[in-house]
Amino acid sequence: MKARETVPGQQEWLVLTKLPGVGSARLAEIAAAAPDWPAGWLARLPHQAATMLRHWLDHPGRSPLTEALEADRAWLMAAPGRHLLHPGHPAWPTLLEQIGDPPPLLWGVGDLAALEPPGLAIVGTRRPTRDGLANAARFGRELASRDWCVVSGLALGIDGAAQQAAIEAGGRSVAVLGCGADVIYPPRHGRLYHQLLDHGGLVLSEYSPGTPARSGFFPRRNRIVTGMSLGVLVVEAAEKSGSLVSARLAMEQNREVFALPGSINNPQARGCLQLIRQGAVLVRDVDDILEELSHWAAAVGPMVASQAPDTEGGSVADPLLRWLSDSPSPLDALVNLTGLSVPDCQRRLLELELEGRAAQAPGGWVRLPETV
């Protein structure tokens, strides 16, 4: 019999995604209840899924799930830079835990350090105007220069232009695909796919390696693009556009939505004008975005520095201290960024204060200088 754990690990999450009749929404609902593994999960799963899981737990050598698990492990071990993220993994994007239907797993190719800077999604039409392409590149480039990560779907048009510019500016970019993370889609972006990986970027997908692109996967992909980002910028979009779907998802996820204004005579600008009428923030430059996200920016500032080793016994690895800087960070922002509950966040802040490593200030909490 397999050894029992208190929470699902990587292998257990893989098994859960392979159970019949259990989708991502059901897994998220069960995970939110934080049941013990495996008894609590077995009690909440549908009968057929629970029976299959119990068989794997008790007799893994005879379970049909084992062969699939071995194939997944073989893919992960076949080349460097391959990853499988799950809730509880150190690199899991905790912002995804705030959305209604988070992915149970994320397959990745590339550098997980791309998840450390704050992320902003940039989306738009696949058939942009010349001005639209120039604006996408400008915002991608300027965000990269401010140590922000551009998150998008590697799609033709606005998405790819923003990601290309971010990479060329020396920044990082995360691409979320509607196919396996090892599948280059669209094929025309093969060069961009490899450039992104060669320059410290990361490709993510909730679909298993080798899964081909399908039209139904892209709306699902969009909820991850917006869900793991602090906000979404729509550069150009027609009135009936997939980018507006992303904007609506972002609103439902309580993310800030930004839109570039355009000419009323440009069909590709009408979606943005519609978003602005509905309450999206009109932006002229990157400063408009960062000003609106200032309450987040104070908290995400030290993320890049947090990669450095800590001389005081690993304090920057602290799940809360790494988000603090000398600019006050509000409690609600820290709760969102860390994924901690409010009581746990308050308790840890008090501990840091007693240790002389953090303090309350007008507007939030700050990190105190290390003493020698």
**Rounded to an integer, what distance in angstroms lies between the CA atom of residue 115 and that of residue 301?**
14
Output the pLDDT for position 312.
35
Long-range contacts of 187-195 (CB under 8 A, 24+ apart): 188/156, 189/154, 189/156, 189/160, 192/154, 192/160, 192/163, 192/164, 192/167, 193/154, 195/164, 195/167
Q: How far is CA 257 from CA 106, 168, 260, 261, in A?
A: 24, 25, 10, 13
Asked if 163 contacts 171 with a C-beta cutoff of 8 angstroms, the reply is no
Output the pLDDT for position 317.
62
Question: And the tokens for 246?
Answer: 């992303």
Q: How far is CA 69 from CA 5, 61, 75, 302, in A?
A: 18, 11, 10, 38
Helix (H) or strand (E) segment spanning residue 30: helix 24-32
**Rounded to an integer, what distance in angstroms lies between the CA atom of residue 77 and that of residue 129?**
43
Provide the whole-model pTM: 0.78
Provide DSSP, 212-268: PP-TTHHHHHHHHHHHTSSEEEE-S--SS-HHHHHHHHHHHTT-EEEE----TT-GG
Q: How far is CA 23 from CA 4, 18, 46, 106, 211, in A?
A: 24, 9, 11, 14, 17
Output the pLDDT for position 329.
80
Within 8 A by CB and 6+ apart from 363, the residues are 328, 330
Residue 198: other Cβ atoms inside 10 A: 11
Output the pLDDT for position 295.
64
- In our burial notation (b when 16+ CB lie closer than 10 A, e otherwise), range 233-262 reads bbbbbbeebbbbbbbebbbebebbbbbbeb
- Please report, in tens digits, the pLDDT of each residue of the chain (372 residues total): 444 456 788 899 999 999 999 999 899 999 988 899 999 999 999 999 999 999 999 999 999 999 999 999 999 999 999 999 998 888 999 899 888 889 999 999 999 999 999 999 999 999 999 999 999 999 999 999 999 999 999 999 999 999 999 999 999 999 999 999 999 999 999 999 999 999 999 999 999 999 999 999 998 999 999 999 999 999 998 887 778 888 999 999 989 999 999 888 888 888 899 999 889 999 999 999 998 887 664 554 433 333 333 333 333 366 687 778 777 787 777 877 777 777 778 878 878 877 788 888 777 788 887 654
Output the pLDDT for position 268.
83
